[in-house]
Copies of this chain bind each other. A is one copy, B any other.
């Protein structure tokens, strides 16, 4: 069986980023940039004042000097003239420094009487002036491609005069839940059946990762139904199935997709929960088969689907970040399957403490929904005492 890391590497190696599309800056938050953002102007465009105060010549303005205020230049209304000896103009944050001036005396360090300005603190050249290009210069690459656009980067692209940006198209992730026993919430429940939670939980997960979920109708447990479901995924960047991925008599997903030409890469990995994880390609369409069990499906989504969506989005795609925490309960030795225990994190003065739920049955969705961390135990991890330091993935 593959390890979790091997499986993730094989999935990532099979995926390529979506092509670029042009979208308005106002819609670009959290999208992944597909072309560099190059400054279309210099910022600030000229030397500007960093404060409200008076532009003047520093040589005229030792403490105690008096100068004549010859005008006012709010931001956006540059002073057209030149500052001569003994002269000053009233300026504001963002105002362009007028010709002749080389310093700004801030309002708090001055007093005025009519047009007479008295200097209370000596001025030095360059003081309170933001030089032209201090932030960036026209032609400079401000944001390299392959980065997710944060509010700060959106602001930077705006300041550099970009109303449109080229970003990777959101990966379209088709989600196919299978099973005779499942019904969508609010619909009639078959005898002995349960409500399907996977499709909507995974759709939320896909959205949270920046993908565009497409929920296909539930496929019943027949070859034809699953074949029809897979065909409906045409145009998607990834087909995610849930249920039926292992090789039981009623696990038809593999058989059905194979009948359509699935090139199966692997279908088993050494992890808990979630051993029956399938990956392959149906022509150009990558297919990720998640377990049908909701907890297993969501843990596998975290470990494999998120990196896959990242890779499709133009990011590298990486394992979930881990951190360390102190165990509050003993753990028995682990077997050959890498384990992901549902747990809660408590912040204490002595660092984070982590408490696994006493029952780890992967049928318990409530436990997963309220977990705030997964304890990540390596294969063959020996027994751990309470107080040991363990690796955790924060949820």
A→B interface (CB under 8 Å): 25-26, 28-30, 41, 43-46, 50, 52, 72, 74-78, 90, 92-96, 107, 130, 134-136, 142-143, 149-164, 179-182, 184-186, 189-198, 200-205, 207-208, 215, 221, 246, 248-250, 292-294, 298, 301, 361, 363-371, 395
Contacts and interface: CB of A to CB of B under 8 A. Distances in A.
> What 5 A-B pairs are tightest by C-beta distance, nearest first?
A76-B181, A155-B201, A76-B180, A163-B186, A29-B204
Given A130-B363, A395-B150, A203 B369 contact: no
Nearest to A187: B163
Copies of this chain in its oligomeric complex: 2
A346 to B, nearest CB: 14
Contacts of A367: 135
22 contacts: A30-B208, A41-B195, A50-B361, A52-B249, A74-B250, A75-B179, A75-B180, A76-B180, A76-B182, A92-B250, A134-B364, A135-B363, A143-B369, A149-B204, A152-B365, A152-B368, A154-B197, A155-B201, A155-B294, A156-B197, A158-B197, A158-B200
A194 B45 contact: yes
Nearest to A165: B185
Contacts of A194: 43-45, 94, 159
A35 B252 CA distance: 39
Nearest to A163: B186
A333 to B, nearest CB: 20
Contacts of A43: 194-195, 365
A243 to B, nearest CB: 9
Contacts of A190: 76
A43 to B, nearest CB: 7
Nearest to A152: B369
Contact of A365 (B25, B135, B202): B135
A368 B200 CA distance: 36
Contacts of A25: 185, 200
Contacts of A161: 185-186, 189, 195
Contacts of A29: 203-204, 207-208
Given A44-B363, A74-B249, A75-B180, 9 more contacts: A76-B181, A76-B182, A76-B193, A77-B181, A92-B248, A134-B363, A135-B365, A152-B368, A158-B197
Which of A50, A94, A294, A369 has the largest number of chain B CB atoms within 10 A? A369
A179 B76 contact: yes
Contact of A152 (B150, B193, B201): B201
Nearest to A191: B78
Nearest to A247: B52
Given A92-B250, A193-B76, A185 B204 contact: no
A184 B203 CA distance: 35
Contact of A180 (B74, B293, B369): B74
Nearest to A160: B195
A366 B136 contact: yes
Nearest to A359: B134
Contact of A50 (B179, B182, B197, B363): B363
B185 A248 contact: no
Contact of A151 (B74, B143, B191, B202): B202
Q: Which of A208, A248, A301 has the most CB of B within 10 A?
A: A248
A371 B371 CA distance: 31
A153 B370 CA distance: 8
Given A161-B185, A366-B136, A76 B192 contact: yes
A150 B368 CA distance: 11
Nearest to A43: B194
